[in-house]
Amino acid sequence: MHGKRQSAQISLALLIASAITLGMLVLTIVLIGQSFRGMETAKVSAAGSTARQLAISVDDRIQAITAPPSTALAVLSHDSLAGAQTLAQRLDRLPVLADILTSSDIVSAVYAGYQNGDFVLLRKVRSSGTLQFPDAPNETRFLLQTITRGGEETPGQWRFFNADMQLIEQRPVPEYNYDPRTRPWFNAARASDSTELSAPYAFFTTQETGITLSRRASEETGGAGTIFGIDVTVTDLSTQLAELRQTPNTRIAIVNQDREVLADSGNAKEPGPAISGALDRLGDHMEGSSVTRFSAGGKDWYGMTEPLGALQQEGLSIAVAIPSDELLADVWAALARQTVIAGLIALLLLVIGWFLGRRVGRPLEHLTDQVSRLSRFRFDTPVRSDYNIREARQLSVALDDMAKTIRSFQSIATVLNRGQNLNHLLRDILEQIIHIVGQERGGIYLFTRQKNQLSLAVKQNLQLPDTISNVQADSDDNEIIRLLRRNISGHPVFAVLRNRRKQLIGVLAIEMEVGDHTQLSDDLIVFVDEIAGSAAVAIETRELIESQQALLEGIIRLVANAIDAKSPYTGGHCERVPKLAQMLVDEAMASNDRAFYSFTMTGEQLQEFHLAAWLHDCGKITSPEYVVDKAVKLETIHNRIHEIRTRFEVLHRDAEIRYLNRVLSGDEEAAADQERQATLARLQEEFRLIATANQGGEFMAEEDIEKIRSIGEQTWMRHFSDRLGLSPDEKNALQPSPEAPLPVTEQLLADKPEHLRPWGEHIPPVRKDDPRNRWGFDMELPEYAYNRGELHNLTVAKGTLTDEERFKINEHIVQTICMLDALPLPDRLANVPKLAGTHHERMDGHGYPCGLTAADMGIPERIMAVADVFEALTAVDRPYKEGKTLTESLTIMARMVEDGHIDRAVFELFIRSGTYERYANQHLQPGQIDEVDESLFMKPD
């Protein structure tokens, strides 16, 4: 409960401050989000505008690149170089070509191609800042490449010149077989009267990317078919594009319609994923612009493309890809600054809200301290607050009223829950309800269904009739109240009490004499009805509990009576042991001995012990009657001594017949008679021995056992079938053995196979390793369920029971535990099976059925064992023994103490408290009550 209360606590000051701060933060987040969207859009729009400006700049640059060379080419088309037929004539015009090269940084070569395939080209050794010919001699500034066809020398010649056009080295190049007539620039200019501009391509010698301006020579020069050309590199465009980047990693590229890169800010030869994404216009299109947002190479990019106006026939375009994080870097920096400012404002608002919350929450904190007493069940605490905050004052008044209501409910709930006796419960209910409604007098009637009347159960300061007759059980509340008003004067308020099944069980009457009863509020009437309903349920519950208790007691009596009807001997035992055990428990609780100093039992535990004592031998219901009451050794359903007597009668007549046969055959009559008389006397003595052994006793000598076995070896002749007139059980027992042909000789006493009864499927779960044994039984199981052999029974050394029958007797405690454990006993009676099932355990662990030791048993279990033993020793209604005197019984019990059978402390309490004597006066025969020397049985300290 406290954990839940703590998890729900929150400071009002913190709540107010948090609410203000949270509102500010939400507003700030919204504004920052909108600001971010606006700045992002602005940045993207700026990037798009930049791309368009960049396209214009590139267009201008391309125009700037191509305009000067075009002018120079127009002048060169009128030069005499066009008509020069020999290499020497052409070399004379080299200064003109050198002037064109030196006049422009972007012109990399000037050349002339002739109709016959000759070719003259002057180029810069260093173009676009890069040395194109590393193997050129030092100080080389220009390289002249010539092809002269038809001469004896090598057609291809390279000449290296310095800045003053002085020849440094001449080098034949046999592999230089360039033919201008096969080049696109040559063919384009030959078919045109104006300057032609080629598409960007890789130059033949240097592999630089550039464009070629070509023009056909003027006819006046005499060089018909000669084509002049100027190579212009665009490599420096990549450098210029890199300078135009908005961010360090922005990619800018100029590509043609075949997606070939002409210039790239990163000097790349291929478009790359970023430029490809921009060209393909992948990703999301940004609203209001031509910019797209896409991912490439594991990064986010903004991409845009713009067509170039220059070289329209080539379909050039410029593509820009800007990393998202770099483009928005300024945006994020601005957002960070705004966030810091917003955080400082929120902190300030938090402090302001904290102070405001403290001012508002101070009265509530005081009220909380008072209400916390209610949470600690101090409902008598007045809850009042004198602060000027209206809500706090109203809350305190409501809580104070609630505390009073809770006190009323607490009082009535205590009465309803704790009432044990029905009369006391009714009186307490009446007092509490009268107090709750602020009155002084009232009464409760209970309905008697058999008499159809209301009987006054309890009243307080009010004169009421003892009974109200002619009340029908099926009457509705209004009819009952009208009947009550005719019999009860004054101004009472009635509440009809009904149980869960809406059956009438009584009426509550309260005399309304304090104040104006006509002003009784509807809420109070409803409250009284509801409380009365709870009282009705409590009354019904108490009646059910008492009925349940009575039913349980009745079942116990029923079981005892059933045992008594089956065997009056054990029935008396079941009645006497609980009385003796209860006497011992009372003495143990009152004793100051060290062994019992802390021993006590609650009312429920006493009830549990009482039930266990009554039911401690209930398992004997399953024990065969002839085993429980077996008075002689040969007894089963009947005493089989009569069968054996009949056999002796047969032997007796056989002796008479032998005597007569001897006399008839001529033998001496005196000798024959002497033999007859000796045989008859022996038979009488042998039968007397067997009959005496059949009665059982404390001990049977071994020599008597041998005599019985010897007697049993005598034979007699059976002339009648033993398979006729049998029960199914007897037939099943004889089935494995074939019937012998008649007449058959049989022993006088025998243990026959049919005397054995196997367990079959009815093996009890008493062995420790039996998976069915969930109770902890640990008993030795005989090989057979029963052994009815005559010699086996007659030679029992002690008492009348065989080992099989003694197990069957002992098994009653197993059945007791199993039967009681199967009952749906409530928790308060959960120990009944244990208490009832341990009275045959021993302190030394050699008892049954579980082999418990003294450490495993409490005082109630030890008391039960002592009570069971003493009752069994002194009982006079057992068929197999006589009841012993007090001294004899206590002497035997003292030996049992020494042997570890029963508990010494309980035994000495039994003697010292005089319990044995009080019990003897109530249940023993006068002849059993002798003078007892208690000192003989008390162990000296």
CATH of residue 859's domain is: 1.10.3210.10
- Are 607 and 646 contained in the same domain? no
469 falls within a domain = yes
What is the C-alpha to C-alpha distance for residues 924 and 918, in angstroms, rounded to an integer? 10
Q: What is the mean pLDDT of residues 61-87?
A: 79
Residue 461 parent element (H or E): none
Token couple for 855: 């450490």
Residues 666, 611 share a domain: no
Taking residue 448's Cβ as centre, other Cβ atoms within 10 Å add up to 13
pLDDT band at 51 (very low <50, low <70, confident <90, very high): low
Q: Dump pLDDT digits (tens) for 727-758.
A: 888 888 888 888 888 898 888 888 888 888 88
Q: Is residue 814 part of a domain?
A: yes
Report helix, strand or coil for 247: coil
Spatial contact of 556 and 611, defined as CB atoms under 8 Å apart = yes
Percent of the chain whose predicted confidence (pLDDT) is above 70: 76
pLDDT of 805: 81
Which of these, 393, 395, 431, 397, lies nearest to 412 by C-alpha position? 431
226-240, 277-291, 623-637, 868-882: segment of lowest average pLDDT:
277-291
Distance CA 103, CA 66 (A): 13
**439 and 546 fall within a common domain:** yes
Verify that 817 and 733 share a domain, yes or no.
Answer: no
Give mean pLDDT, residues 106-132: 83
What are 672-703's pLDDT values in tens digits?
Answer: 899 989 988 998 998 898 888 888 877 888 89
My answer on whether 608 and 714 are in the same domain is: no
Q: Please report the pLDDT score of residue 518 as a whole number.
A: 41
pLDDT at 1: 40
Residues near 376 by beta carbon (within 8 Å), at least 6 away in sequence: none
End-to-end CA, the chain: 54
CA angle 12, 14, 18 (to 5 degrees): 115
801 or 280, higher pLDDT: 801
Q: What gap in Å lies between CA 198 and CA 212, rounded to an integer?
A: 5
CATH classification at residue 213? 3.30.450.20
Query: Which stretch of DSSP H or E encloses residue 284?
Result: strand 284-285
Q: Check whether 5 has a pLDDT greater than 60.
A: no
In terms of average pLDDT, the best of 20-29, 508-517, 736-745 is: 736-745
pLDDT, tens digit, 9 for 90 and up, residues 340-353: 777 777 677 767 76
| Beta carbons of 742 and 735 less than 8 angstroms apart | no
Q: Are residue 544 and residue 600 in the same domain, yes or no?
A: no
Question: Do you find a cis peptide bond into 743, omega within 30 degrees of 0?
Answer: yes
> Of the given ranges (3-12, 431-440, 770-779), which has the lowest mean pLDDT?
3-12
Residue 2 has which token pair? 């406290």
The pLDDT of residue 171 is above 50: yes
> pLDDT-derived band of residue 201, with 50, 70 and 90 as boundaries?
confident
pLDDT tens digits for range 823-844: 888 888 888 888 888 888 889 9
Tell whether 217 and 160 lie within a shared domain. Answer: yes
Residues 6+ apart with CB under 8 A from 236: 105, 106, 128, 129
Domain boundary among 233, 256, 282: 233
Neighbours of 2 (CB within 10 A): 8
What pLDDT was estimated at residue 460? 85
What is the model's pLDDT at position 11? 62
Letter string b/e over residues 794-805, b meaning 16 or more CB atoms within 10 A of that residue's CB: bbbeebbbbebb
Distance separating alpha carbons of residues 623 and 630, to the nearest angstrom: 11
User: Are 485 and 440 within one domain?
Assistant: yes
Count of domains forming the chain: 4
- pLDDT of residue 3 exceeding 50: no
Specify if 620 maps to a domain: yes
CATH code assigned at 457? 3.30.450.40
Distance of CA 680 to the CA centre of its chain: 86
pLDDT at 385 over 70: no
Domain end, chosen from 761, 777, 799, is at 761
The amino acid at residue 224 is: A
| pLDDT more than 90, % of the chain | 5
Position 404 in a domain: no
pLDDT tens-digit profile of 534-555? 777 777 776 777 777 778 777 7
Looking at the structure, tell me whether residues 610 and 721 fall in a common domain.
no
How far apart CA 447 and CA 194 sit, in angstroms, is 131
Residue 98 included in any domain = yes
Residues 604 and 707 placed together within one structural domain of the fold? no
In a domain, 624, yes or no: yes
pLDDT at 155 > cutoff 80:
yes
Write the CB contacts of 213 (distance below 8 Å, at least 6 apart in sequence).
Answer: 66, 69, 70, 73, 195, 196, 197, 198, 229, 230, 232
Give the separation between CA 392 and CA 363, rounded to whole angstroms: 7
pLDDT tier, 517 (very low <50, low <70, confident <90, very high otherwise):
very low
pLDDT in tens, 766-788: 888 888 888 888 888 888 888 88
Task: Write down the pLDDT at residue 243.
Answer: 63
Domain that holds residue 94: 77-233
Q: Mean pLDDT throughout 581-598?
A: 90
Question: Could you tell me if residue 413 is inside a domain?
Answer: no
Same domain, yes or no: 119 and 205: yes
Q: What is the distance between the alpha carbons of residues 441 and 513, in angstroms, rounded to a whole number?
A: 9
Return the minimum-mean-pLDDT range out of 298-312, 351-365, 510-524, 787-801. Answer: 510-524
Q: Is the domain of 846 the same as that of 916?
A: yes
How many other CB atoms sit within 10 Å of the CB of residue 709?
13
Mean pLDDT (whole number) for 517-530: 61
Q: Which residues contact 356 (CB under 8 A, 6 or more apart)?
A: 13, 16, 17
User: Given a cut of 60, is residue 889 above it in pLDDT?
Assistant: yes
Q: Residue 582: which of 820, 915, 925 has the closest Cα? A: 915
Residue 516: is its pLDDT beyond 60? no
The chain-wide mean pLDDT, for the chain, equals 79
Looking at the DSSP bridge assignments, the partners of residue 444 are 458, 508
Distance CA 275, CA 321 (A): 6
User: Tens digits of per-residue pLDDT, 591-647?
Assistant: 888 889 889 998 888 888 888 888 887 777 777 777 777 778 777 877 788 888 888
Q: Which residue has the higher pLDDT, 380 or 636?
A: 636
E strand or H helix that includes residue 254: strand 251-255
At 459 the pLDDT is 87
Q: Tell the residue number behind the tokens 């205590």, with chain if given.
A: 414
Q: Is residue 772 part of a domain?
A: no
Which residue did the predictor score with more confidence, 216 or 61?
A: 216
Question: With 80 as the cut, is the pLDDT of residue 900 above it?
Answer: yes
Select, from the ranges 41-45, 232-236, 433-437, the one with the highest average predicted confidence (pLDDT): 433-437
User: Domain boundary at 217, 233, 249, which?
Assistant: 233
The pLDDT, as a whole number, for residue 565 is 67
Pairing of β 209-216 and β 196-197: antiparallel
